[in-house]
Every structure is written in C-alpha cells, then in structure tokens.
C-alpha cells in the first residue's frame, strides 16, 4: 500500500481531468486565462472570503502575505516550533525575525498561552517590534483561532493563517483559510487539495492587500505588466494546474473531506486501547486530515517500529523529526524563555499513518493490525 495514494484519486477522476488538461493544451493559453480566474472565484466561494489570488506554491503564498504587509528587518513574527520549514523560512526570507513558540501536545498547533508569553517577552526586551503571528493548521486541524485572534487583537498583531495542510477544515462551520487577516494554502500534490505539480493560493477579505499580493506575485506590476512599481517575484499558478484543480476541488468539496473524516474514525476505532496516543477531537472543529498522526508511547522504539511496519508493507512517515529552533538555518534566532519542550517530545514520538479519501476500511484494518502486532513484539 502507499502512504498517500494519488493514483487512486486519478483513477476516480481521470475522465474529467484528462478532458480539462486537453482543453488547456488546445487553447494554447498556459499562463492565466479562464481556468485560473474561475478557480480563484470557486476557491474564494468555498472558503467564504472576498479574494483569492493563486500563486506558484504555498511557500510563496506565505511570503507574498508578509510582503504585502511590509514585514521586514526589526520585526518579530511568531511561528509554531512544530511545523514544516516554510512557515518560518518566509519570515527570514523577508529579513524579519522568527520567534518560535511551543505547541499544544494534543492539537499539535501553536499554544495560545505560550504565544502570549512570547509576545510579552519580545515587547519587554524592546529590540524587535512584534508584527505578526503565523498560525499553522497542522495535519489538517485548524489552530485555536478564537484564542489566537484575541491575542492578535490585544497586541495589534497581524494574523497569517498557514492553511497548507488545513484547507477543507473548519471551526463551527467557518472554513479554514478564512481565519487570518491573510490566509494561505498549498496545492502540493500530497496536500488535502493537491494539483499535479506546485501551486498555492492567498485568501483575504481586504481589497488593498489582495491587490498588493497580485502585484508582488507578478514582478510588482502596476497598471499593466510592463509598468513595475515595486520589486516582486514571478509566482503564478499554471493554467494547466488550475484546470486540474477545478476538477479536484469539486470532488474535494462534495465527498473527499467527508471520506477522509470517515477514514479517521475507522483508525480511531481500530487503534483504541493500542497504547498509541490517538489524535484528539475538539468540539466544533473539523479536520481535513492532511495526516493521521499518532504518538508512540514512551519506551517504544519508533525507528524500529517504522522499520518493522515497512517489512509488513505499511509505509509511515515522521512529520516532523526536528523542531524549527534546532534547524541550522535558524541558528541564532530569538530564543523563547522556557524553550519548546512539547515540540521536542513530539518530534521523538509522532508517527503518521497512510491517509487519504481513497483509503479503504480493509487498509485501515491491515495497518492497525500490523501496528498492534509490531508494538507487542517490540515491548
Ligand atoms: C507544504 C507546506 C507549506 C509549503 O507549501 P509548498 O507548496 O510546498 O511551498 C507551508 N506550510 C506548511 C505547514 C506546509 O505543510
């Protein structure tokens, strides 16, 4: 079996995807055009925000947001310590300073209590200006936006939702990628909504920021392409990817998010009492299950478990093995007092299982039986 079976999805959707691709090929338009415009409208509708601007990938999407806000040298941006590298990389890329904040052990997302502490420490030190928070919807679960938004309001911080994994999730019916002042997602193939290459999008209700993001994404264009009013980048979503995403978004919205939630419930049922810490459910929250991530119990050798599972034909992944504050690229970054002990522990304990809307109940049973068996053998 595969860790994420993109082939199964293609087999289910191939008639429509093939037609969409061929239509673009015969249209001769490969940058911009109808599919890109239509996709932006559909994405904005789905998320429930005014503007969607597509771009080349989820990392650019984050950076474009920071550029639109003019975040730069001397600014502090608060980022969870447990996330994919991009969430912090973009902060350094615009020459601001990332401040890594510990996460909650059960949601995997930034801990609002530790966030507020970190903001106060940076303010008291007086060297950096707290400007923004990057909140990540890790593994598909929206971050604690009620608490985070409150902190941002109180300290006048901009909120950037990194919804690269969270697209499709919700809190009380409000969709992921609508919680930030600006929110972003990624269409990397293995994300909840993936294309067949790289892609990303920026979401906001703010007219001015949307216009700035559009400009920065196309060489800082002004009134037209050859009028350049600021230094930007070249970050566009290909027409081909937009056409593919139009087909995939329809399936995603109509059944894939529901199906992946059903797979998560199968895992819950099959793994209860196994000794693994299972993903916790939060009242009112819906996850898009970018990953189904368990924590191995103390004393269990995760590397040996992974190797034995591989022998039994079960692929697993470790997202993520290293806290952000330990990445060499961030050497010398701002250290939060108290450190990030929860992240350090999670990096040792997490294990992500095969997941996706096309996983069958028989797959879940096979994975779960292999897990239980291997764990008994190892202890
Ligand atoms: C994948 C990912 C990104 C970056 O997306 P790309 O499209 O690969 O650039 C950013 N943040 C998180 C949390 C991600 O998982």
DSSP string, 135-165: EE-GGGPPP-HHHHHHHHHHHT-EEEEE-TT
11-40 pLDDT, tens digit each:
999 999 999 999 999 999 999 999 999 999
Give a yes or no: residue 173 inside a domain. Answer: yes
Give a yes or no: residue 260 inside a domain. Answer: yes
* 8 A C-beta contact, residue 358 and residue 367: no
Do both 136 and 189 map to the same domain?
yes
CA distance 268 to 234: 43
Give a yes or no: residue 181 inside a domain. Answer: yes
- pLDDT of 333 reads 80
Residue nearest to atom 10 of ligand 1 (CA): 86
CA distance 98 to 112: 17
Do both 25 and 123 map to the same domain?
yes
Structural domain ending residue among the three candidates 203, 233, 248: 248
Give a yes or no: residue 159 inside a domain. Answer: yes
- pLDDT of 107 reads 98
Query: What DSSP designation does 336 have?
Result: P
Do both 241 and 260 map to the same domain?
no
- pLDDT of 52 reads 98
Give a yes or no: residue 234 inside a domain. Answer: yes
Do both 50 and 113 map to the same domain?
yes
CATH of the domain at 270: 3.90.1150.10
- pLDDT of 334 reads 79
Do both 175 and 297 map to the same domain?
no
Locate 241 and state its tokens: 């990817």
Give the rounded distance of the alpha carbon of 260 from its chain centre: 16
Do both 224 and 316 map to the same domain?
no
The domain tally of the chain equals 2
* 8 A C-beta contact, residue 351 and residue 293: yes
Do both 296 and 228 map to the same domain?
no
CATH of the domain at 244: 3.40.640.10
Q: Ligand 1 pocket: which of 85, 88, 191, 237 to mutate (most atoms <8 Å of CB)? A: 191
Do both 124 and 146 map to the same domain?
yes
Structural domain ending residue among the three candidates 180, 214, 248: 248
214-223 contacts at long range (C-beta below 8 A, 24 or more positions apart): 214/53, 216/64, 216/67, 216/68, 217/53, 217/55, 217/60, 217/64
Residue 187 alpha carbon, nearest atom of ligand 1 = 7
CA distance 258 to 231: 42
Give a yes or no: residue 164 inside a domain. Answer: yes
Task: Give the distance (Å) from ligand 1 centre to CA of residue 85.
Answer: 8
Structural domain ending residue among the three candidates 190, 220, 248: 248
Give a yes or no: residue 346 inside a domain. Answer: yes
Do both 195 and 264 map to the same domain?
no
Residue nearest to atom 14 of ligand 1 (CA): 164
- pLDDT of 224 reads 85
Residue nearest to atom 1 of ligand 1 (CA): 164
- pLDDT of 335 reads 76
Pairing outcome for strands 75-80 and 129-136: parallel
- pLDDT of 332 reads 80
- pLDDT of 225 reads 82
Do both 90 and 148 map to the same domain?
yes
pLDDT in tens, the chain (379 residues): 999 999 999 999 999 999 999 999 999 999 999 999 999 999 999 999 999 999 999 999 999 999 999 999 999 999 999 999 999 999 999 999 999 999 999 999 999 999 999 999 999 999 999 999 999 999 999 999 999 999 999 999 999 999 999 999 999 999 999 999 999 999 999 999 999 999 999 999 999 999 999 999 999 999 888 899 999 999 999 999 999 999 999 999 999 999 999 999 999 999 999 999 999 999 999 999 999 999 999 989 999 999 999 999 999 999 999 999 999 999 988 777 889 999 999 999 999 999 999 999 999 999 999 999 999 998 7
Do both 234 and 172 map to the same domain?
yes
- pLDDT of 320 reads 97
**Domain extent for 304:** 255-378
Do both 80 and 189 map to the same domain?
yes
Task: Give the distance (Å) from ligand 1 centre to CA of residue 378.
Answer: 34
Ligand 1 binding pocket includes 84 (Cβ within 6 Å): yes
Query: What DSSP designation does 254 have?
Result: I
Give a yes or no: residue 1 inside a domain. Answer: no
């Amino acid at each position: 079996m595969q860790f994420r079976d993109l082939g199964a999805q293609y087999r289910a959707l191939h008639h429509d995807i093939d037609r969409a691709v061929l239509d673009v090929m015969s249209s001769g338009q490969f940058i911009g055009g109808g599919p890109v415009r239509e996709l932006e409208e559909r994405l904005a509708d789905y998320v429930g925000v005014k503007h969607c601007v597509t771009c080349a990938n989820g990392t650019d999407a984050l950076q474009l947001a920071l550029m639109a806000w003019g975040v730069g040298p001397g600014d502090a941006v608060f980022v969870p310590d447990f996330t994919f590298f991009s969430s912090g990389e973009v902060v350094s890329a615009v020459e601001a300073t990332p401040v890594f904040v510990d996460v909650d052990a059960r949601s995997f997302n930034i801990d609002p209590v530790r966030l507020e502490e970190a903001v106060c420490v940076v303010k008291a030190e007086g060297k950096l200006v707290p400007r923004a928070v990057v909140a990540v919807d890790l593994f598909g679960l929206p971050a604690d936006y009620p608490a985070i938004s409150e902190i941002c309001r109180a300290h006048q911080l901009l909120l950037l939702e990194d919804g690269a994994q969270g697209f499709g999730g919700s809190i009380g019916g409000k969709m992921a990628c609508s919680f930030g002042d600006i929110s972003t997602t990624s269409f990397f193939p293995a994300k909840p909504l993936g294309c067949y290459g790289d892609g990303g999008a920026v979401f906001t209700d703010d007219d001015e920021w949307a216009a700035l993001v559009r400009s920065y994404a196309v060489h800082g264009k002004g009134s037209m392409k050859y009028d350049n009013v600021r230094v930007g980048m070249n970050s566009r979503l290909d027409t081909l990817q937009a056409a593919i995403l139009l087909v995939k978004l329809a399936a995603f919205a109509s059944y894939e998010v529901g199906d992946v939630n059903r797979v998560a419930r199968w895992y819950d049922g099959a793994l209860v009492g196994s000794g693994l810490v299972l993903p916790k459910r939060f009242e009112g929250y819906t996850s898009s299950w970018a990953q189904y991530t368990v924590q191995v119990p103390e004393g269990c050798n995760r590397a040996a478990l992974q190797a034995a599972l591989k022998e039994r034909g079960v692929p697993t992944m470790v997202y993520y093995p290293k806290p952000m504050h330990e990445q060499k690229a961030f050497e010398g970054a701002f250290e939060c007092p108290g450190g990030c002990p929860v992240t350090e522990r999670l990096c040792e304990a997490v294990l992500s299982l095969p997941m996706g809307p096309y996983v069958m109940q028989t797959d879940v049973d096979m994975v779960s039986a292999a897990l239980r068996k291997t764990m008994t053998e190892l202890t």
